[in-house]
Amino acid sequence: MKAERIRAITEGIGRARILILGDIMLDEYLFGAVSRISPEAPVPVVEITSSRRQLGGAANVAANIRSLGDEPMLLGTVGEDEAAVMLTQLLKQRNISSEYLVNDKSRQTTIKTRVIAHSQQVVRTDREDRHELDDDTRSRVFKRFMAVADSIQAVIISDYGKGVITKSLLEQVIEVCLQKDIFIAVDPQDTHFHNYRQVSVITPNHLEAGFAYGRRIVSEADLMEVGTGLLKRLQAKSILITRGPDGMSLFQEGGEPTHIPTFARKVFDVTGAGDTVISSFVSAVCAGADLVEASIVANVGAGITIGEVGTATVTVPQLKQELERNIKNGNLAAATTRIAHG
């Protein structure tokens, strides 16, 4: 990847309208310190010193898209509760519209609470309902999707298995996207994997990919079998398998597998890294990047966010700076060598 392509792609980001459909969450962080063990049970007592609430799940994907400069359209359900009010306020602060949110009285807004002491997560608690949308709510969600389908360049399916992404809704959305030539990206939930057919890209981690294919990835041979096998099974245009410290591997229709090393310099927290991967990838594609270039951009974006505690977002200047730094130290040359030799 050369400097002129980095310039062209980063200058092109910020002009697309991208719809994010999926499970919307509120992330809560409680920060503190541990100085003793509880006399009631053998557990640490965390003395809370501060707290923070952030957008999570599909809402964090929308925050990533907004941070990159593109226009996010967040579509999903929330309850009629205090968490939904807080979520709406956080969206407003990020300049993300809440007009596409669908209220569902039958469920509470998902809240994930993480207790962090000395930069380490001690425990996580979840408050949520995971039943599938009823027919009426699904119909309202699809109606809002159809209202904007002619004005969007891409759809990101952010599936956390909380009930919003049903098989019937997914089939309807994919059918419309294929008819209108809308780029479809999926951040998958492993139990729904085989419903994501004919999409443009799907971004599982290596554990999700191995589970979906029925083969654990412990070697390069396993990776090749799983990647090419899933590509064929799902009739997808591409699959981007994230591999933690081993980087990413891109499998695409009609092309050779591409292995891209990680560009992360430090790892504090992987929370939300998958959201940054899919957001950066889609924004880059909308800006004219090919799939390999988009994978490199996504890899760099993930490397930035895992250096922060809690869900984080990246900006175009950060991406450009980190891409240029990797050109100077030869990392991108190494990536293109891997591309050439598969």
DSSP of 199-246, one letter per residue?
-SEE--BHHHHHHHHT----SHHHHHHHHHHHHHHHT-SEEEEE-GGG
Task: Considering the candidates 126, 222, 275, 290, report the single residue annotated as catalytic.
Answer: 275
Give the residue carrying structure tokens 């992987």. 270
Within 8 A by CB and 6+ apart from 45, the residues are 34, 35, 36, 37, 38
Residues whose CB is less than 8 angstroms from the CB of residue 172 and which lie 6 or more positions away in sequence, other chains included: 142
150 CB burial (10 A radius; 0-12, 13-18, 19+):
exposed
| Residue 290 annotated in active site | no
Q: Residue holding tokens 């880059």?
A: 284
56 near 27, Cβ under 8 Å?
yes
For every residue of 62-84, DSSP letters joined together read: HHHHHHHTSEEEEEEEE-SSHHH
CA distance 69 to 91: 15
The residues annotated with a catalytic role in the active site are 275
